[in-house]
Amino acid sequence: MPTKTARAVVSVLIVGGALSLLLFTTMRGSAEYYKHVDEVMADAPAWYGKSVQLHGFVVDGSVMRRPNTLEYRFQVQNNDAVVTANYTGVVPDTFKGGTEVVLTGTLTPQGFHVDEGGIMAKCPSKYDPNKIPVR
């Protein structure tokens, strides 16, 4: 193999390997599962300690806030499965009973511990295509 071709092959291998390593190390830390409450609660012990984005609906009347704190405790459900969630921080304006939410955090035997800033509450009327006015 000529010297120029060998250098080109080695260069491509080194650059490709470096990019692959960079991609792997970057993606490894931020990888999260996206699951619905019923999928996780079907085999809860298998999900303990794993980083999860949990999708469900806040149970009406379940949102409790500890007085003079930003500590919240509420239940999230999907189908017949329910999990208790704990969160400390400011909640979105649209967060209330019946709201569709995606929580980021970890599941433990005591419930779902939501990360700081880990609540995303959806506003169904704002994004419902049937409620968008037609011009």
Q: What is the pLDDT of residues 25-49, one digit of tens each?
A: 766 655 678 899 999 999 889 999 8
Does residue 109 register a pLDDT over 80?
yes
Q: Do residues 38 and 78 touch, judged by C-beta distance below 8 A?
A: yes
pTM assigned to the model: 0.68
Angle at 98 between CA 70 and CA 78, to 5 degrees: 105
4 and 57 in a single domain? The answer is no
Top pLDDT among 24 and 130 is at 24
The reply to whether 135 falls in a domain is no
| CATH code of residue 44 | 2.40.50.140
Q: In this predicted model, what pLDDT tens digit does every residue of 8-17 receive, in sequence order?
A: 888 888 888 8
54 and 98 in a single domain? The answer is yes
115/103 Cα distance (integer angstroms): 8
Range of the domain at 56: 32-130
Q: In this predicted model, what pLDDT tens digit does every residue of 82-96 receive, in sequence order?
A: 999 999 999 888 888
Does residue 133 register a pLDDT over 60?
no
The reply to whether 56 falls in a domain is yes
67 and 106 in a single domain? The answer is yes
118 and 92 in a single domain? The answer is yes
Top pLDDT among 135 and 19 is at 19
107 and 53 in a single domain? The answer is yes
55 and 100 in a single domain? The answer is yes
| Arithmetic mean of pLDDT over the chain | 84
112 and 62 in a single domain? The answer is yes
122 and 62 in a single domain? The answer is yes
Helix (H, G, I), strand (E, B) or coil at 42: coil
Q: Do residues 62 and 80 touch, judged by C-beta distance below 8 A?
A: no
24 and 82 in a single domain? The answer is no
Domain count, the chain: 2
